[in-house]
Structure 1
């Protein structure tokens, strides 16, 4: 089986990420702050049927993740969709990287402000003014420096935060189900299809982010064999975790308006003030895990664009000592700080899920061509081709249906971002041509 040629700069990266590292990246990409607020809203709107929304929409995400993972298995290089979408031309490749990078950094900007809210609840000066800015700067500086100085250090932060965020979530779900086993609500009749459609983006957003696992593939050991499996297994565990949390919430909490912090309220019901404190700390750790995940994965998009000549080669440089895409890490960290401190993420975040759905579609659409080129004559079979196309058509159908649930505001923001991406692409191309024409310049 043939694969893409690995550029020289990519060979400087260290392959220090294994199966569990890839799984933890997918886990932290998907689980941020949302699950700590979502159960209250779903319980208020859907009652006993709310837990079943996660298997329903989780299966739809798996329909996308399976062919997405198969595409990823052919690319042992960093950048993920930047490389997959290159089959459709450099502009499409650039847009895939640009839209996904913006989606990641804006989500982190929003999460950092939520983290400051949690900090302010613990100590008021952290919630406003200079204290808020200092908290955001310190978090980004610490996590950014870990990722700058080595992928193993960045993964160490992700591993620790995965443990600290998962234990409270699993604990409150199991304890709640044990204490309130007699109160678990029956699902009742399914809600009307229109009601399910209205919840589509809300619930799907709880799963998006799994794709971040493919971004540092150039730093993984044997990504072709384990990356797809890590993503799919992780998504199945996330579906189960969400289902149990929602089931416990429905058993322990009355139907009615959602409290301001639903899981902290659930923690208080099952374990008193200590339970509320543990779940509040768990929410903070979950946000930190999401930030750590973004500062490891998102820079690999800029790195791939730099290596492929779609951005200045400065972004594609590897640090001689740390073997990391250090410039891309530094730039992404700075962008996240700027967005978080200025609040610029608010209007950008509206298109986050929509942008990812488009990137999923582009990636999945590349699968038939990728497999056709990589298979030997002996590997080709009509049945395999049919299965591939069925997977692709099903995944594209899910993406299209989910995109149609977006409102006009989200589409306007996405179109503005895409237009900005086109302008940036041609500006970068013009700069490259100008620099290449200068004597003694190599395009840096």
Structure 2
């Protein structure tokens, strides 16, 4: 080695199966569970728990596809890596870029949700300063190490899950469960997507695979266990709420907690909601910062994004970039336009990943009819069905961000060619 050569700094594999499960769980459970029960109950009544069960079962083919893909790779990147290996750098870049846009918008939007919940406990907290402190703190935790981020996730997960489990259990014990009545199909169709979207976000566990111990084994296990567990939790909470007869409510679980536990229950659920949003944001920064870092490693973005901190062994510049973008979007209000396309862009990344399975099998010279062809077809059909329910404005915004990604890719390509 030359005297002036610098040692290569690499990330550490600090995440085990439970750490990967925490990333998946907190990618899924954010603010939705705190607002969805009232809307579902108003739309489909006692059928609402079973609709959530069907949504959990419906998303499982997509999850199994991701588990299959995660079992093939040790590198970070997730959907961007899968689509890139199957269809080339450009498709992989666009898959990662659209997922990045969706998660960055979610980070910004959830900062406002958190400030609103905090303001309900103390009005002075519903202010820009809360947003600044929240995103800055989450960014700092990620910079000083993914193990610290996962440890923090573990603590916040317990804070947010415990009240949900308690009110769900109390609701089931104290109130008779009504027999499900089949609603009008139009009513189910109107809220089916909302129920399905409550389960997205599990892919967060696949992105930092390069920092996960034995990722080919641990990430698939984490995905399957987490989605199954979250499905059961959602069904139990919804069943308890539907049995309560509270109907539509802007803060349904706070109302349920007040009925089950008393006035202190609403306060407890307020803190649980804040912890839930914080954990979702922490998971978002942990995962999406690895997308830009992976882009830099593949020369799809400037190398600056791939810099690893010598002290903390984390992709520090990518983490700071995510925090800065999320903060700028949240404070400017322009996050709304991203939030509109967040679901469609996420579905694009899902579809690209699902389509990668038969393509990778072909490149590897193998044929699997079950998990290689039939399963991706089922999962892909679900994604296409969900996408067909998006409106024109969402598709226009989706196209615009897809074009922006293509432009960035071309700019990076010129840099690669000039460096050769």
TM-score range, shorter chain: over 0.9
Query: Which whole-Å CA distance do the structure 1 matches of 2:66 and 2:183 have between them?
Result: 30
Query: Which whole-Å CA distance do the structure 2 matches of 1:85 and 1:239 have between them?
Result: 27
Structure 2 stretches lacking a partner, 5+ long: 1-5
- Work out the number of aligned pairs and report it: 414
The 1:292–1:85 alpha-carbon spacing in structure 2 relative to 1, beyond 3 Å, is same
1:206-285 map, 5 Å: 206-255=198-247, 258-285=248-275
The 1:9–1:340 alpha-carbon spacing in structure 2 relative to 1, beyond 3 Å, is farther
1:143-154 map, 5 Å: 143-154=138-149
Alignment-derived partner of residue 94 in structure 2: 95
Query: Which whole-Å CA distance do the structure 1 matches of 2:179 and 2:9 have between them?
Result: 55
Alignment-derived partner of residue 188 in structure 1: 181
- State which of 329, 334, 342 in structure 2 corresponds to 1:344: 334
SS in structure 2 of the partner of residue 366 of structure 1:
helix
Alignment-derived partner of residue 442 in structure 1: none
Give, in angstroms, the shift of residue 11 of structure 1: 7.6
Alignment-derived partner of residue 174 in structure 1: 169
Does the aligned pair in 2 maintain the 1:9–1:307 contact within 8 Å?
Answer: no
Alignment-derived partner of residue 318 in structure 2: 328
SS in structure 2 of the partner of residue 359 of structure 1:
helix
Alignment-derived partner of residue 3 in structure 2: none
Give, in angstroms, the shift of residue 62 of structure 1: 0.3
The 1:200–1:9 alpha-carbon spacing in structure 2 relative to 1, beyond 3 Å, is farther
Does the aligned pair in 2 maintain the 1:197–1:405 contact within 8 Å?
Answer: no
Give, in angstroms, the shift of residue 417 of structure 1: 0.9
Alignment-derived partner of residue 293 in structure 2: 303
Q: Is residue 39 of structure 2 the alignment partner of residue 41 of structure 1? A: yes
Deviations, residues 247-288 of structure 1 (Å, cap 9, x unaligned): 000111333xx2221110111111111111111111010000
Deviations, residues 325-354 of structure 1 (Å, cap 9, x unaligned): 111000001011111111111121111111
Query: Which whole-Å CA distance do the structure 1 matches of 2:89 and 2:363 have between them?
Result: 19
The TM-score normalised by the length of structure 2 is 0.95
Give, in angstroms, the shift of residue 122 of structure 1: 2.0
SS in structure 1 of the partner of residue 308 of structure 2:
coil
The 1:270–1:97 alpha-carbon spacing in structure 2 relative to 1, beyond 3 Å, is same
Q: Is residue 192 of structure 2 the alignment partner of residue 200 of structure 1? A: yes
Query: Which whole-Å CA distance do the structure 2 matches of 1:342 and 1:100 have between them?
Result: 21
1:271-420 map, 5 Å: 271-374=261-364, 384-420=368-404
SS in structure 1 of the partner of residue 229 of structure 2:
helix
Give, in angstroms, the shift of residue 10 of structure 1: 9.5
Alignment-derived partner of residue 52 in structure 1: 50
Between 1:87-96 and 1:229-238, the stretch displaced more is 87-96
Give, in angstroms, the shift of residue 9 of structure 1: 10
Query: Which whole-Å CA distance do the structure 2 matches of 1:329 and 1:91 have between them?
Result: 23
Between 1:27-36 and 1:423-432, the stretch displaced more is 423-432
Give, in angstroms, the shift of residue 303 of structure 1: 0.6
Alignment-derived partner of residue 140 in structure 1: 135
The 1:43–1:386 alpha-carbon spacing in structure 2 relative to 1, beyond 3 Å, is closer
The TM-score normalised by the length of structure 1 is 0.90
Query: Which whole-Å CA distance do the structure 2 matches of 1:195 and 1:407 have between them?
Result: 18
Alignment-derived partner of residue 3 in structure 1: none
Deviations, residues 101-159 of structure 1 (Å, cap 9, x unaligned): 110010111111011112222222221xxxx2221111122221111111111111111
The 1:144–1:323 alpha-carbon spacing in structure 2 relative to 1, beyond 3 Å, is same
Query: Which whole-Å CA distance do the structure 1 matches of 2:213 and 2:191 have between them?
Result: 38
Does the aligned pair in 1 maintain the 2:35–2:251 contact within 8 Å?
Answer: yes
Give, in angstroms, the shift of residue 33 of structure 1: 0.6
Q: Is residue 152 of structure 2 the alignment partner of residue 157 of structure 1? A: yes
Give, in angstroms, the shift of residue 374 of structure 1: 5.0
Give, in angstroms, the shift of residue 18 of structure 1: 0.4
Does the aligned pair in 2 maintain the 1:198–1:405 contact within 8 Å?
Answer: no
1:102-121 map, 5 Å: 102-121=101-120
Does the aligned pair in 1 maintain the 2:43–2:187 contact within 8 Å?
Answer: no
The 1:422–1:10 alpha-carbon spacing in structure 2 relative to 1, beyond 3 Å, is farther
